[in-house]
């Protein structure tokens, strides 16, 4: 996450991360401060944590044969697909306030 944080702060600069250590390769642009980097890492972690429900839902959605379920629902006048999607959303709710 360190690489992504520094890249977000200085996208046009040269640097690398080795063993979780920032190596600044840019002689022209100023290296971001530790405070800037730490703040960006915290922001990225929060963003990652707040979108966990999306990753969990996707994993479950991928197990479904959704097109076939939708077709069967249309032919049989049922709501199997909608019910299954709602079940997944209920199991992995979107956090409030994001």
CA-CA distances (angstroms) from residue 59 to 50, 52, 62, 63? 16, 11, 5, 7
**Residue 20: DSSP 8-state:** T
pTM assigned to the model:
0.69
Q: Is the dihedral of CA 81, 82, 83, 88 positive or negative?
A: positive
For residue 21, what are the β-bridge partners? Answer: 18
* Predicted pLDDT of residue 88: 97
Q: What's the pLDDT score for residue 97?
A: 78
Local confidence band at 10 (pLDDT 50, 70, 90 cut-offs): very high
C-alpha count within 13 angstroms, C-beta hemisphere, residue 82: 5
Residue 53 sits at the vertex; the CA angle it makes with 49 and 54, to the nearest 5 degrees, is 105
Give the model confidence (pLDDT) of 36-87 as tens digits: 999 999 999 999 999 999 999 999 999 999 999 999 999 999 999 999 999 9
Task: Report, as an integer, the average pLDDT of 8-36.
Answer: 96
* pLDDT confidence bin for 96, thresholds 50/70/90: confident
What 3-state class would DSSP assign to 21? strand
For 42, phi and psi rounded to 5 degrees? -60, -45
Q: So what's the pLDDT on residue 68?
A: 94
Check pLDDT > 80 for residue 98: no
**Residue 51: its H or E element:** none
Number of neighbouring beta carbons within 10 Å of residue 95: 10
């Amino acid at each position: 996450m360190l690489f992504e944080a520094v890249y977000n702060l200085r996208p046009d600069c040269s640097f690398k991360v080795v063993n979780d250590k920032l190596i600044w390769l840019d002689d022209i642009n100023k290296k971001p401060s530790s405070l800037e980097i730490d703040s960006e890492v915290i922001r990225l972690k929060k963003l990652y944590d707040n979108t966990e429900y999306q990753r969990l839902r996707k994993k479950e959605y991928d197990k479904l044969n959704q097109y076939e379920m939708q077709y069967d629902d249309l032919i049989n006048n049922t709501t199997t697909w909608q019910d299954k999607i709602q079940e997944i959303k209920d199991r992995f709710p979107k956090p409030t306030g994001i």
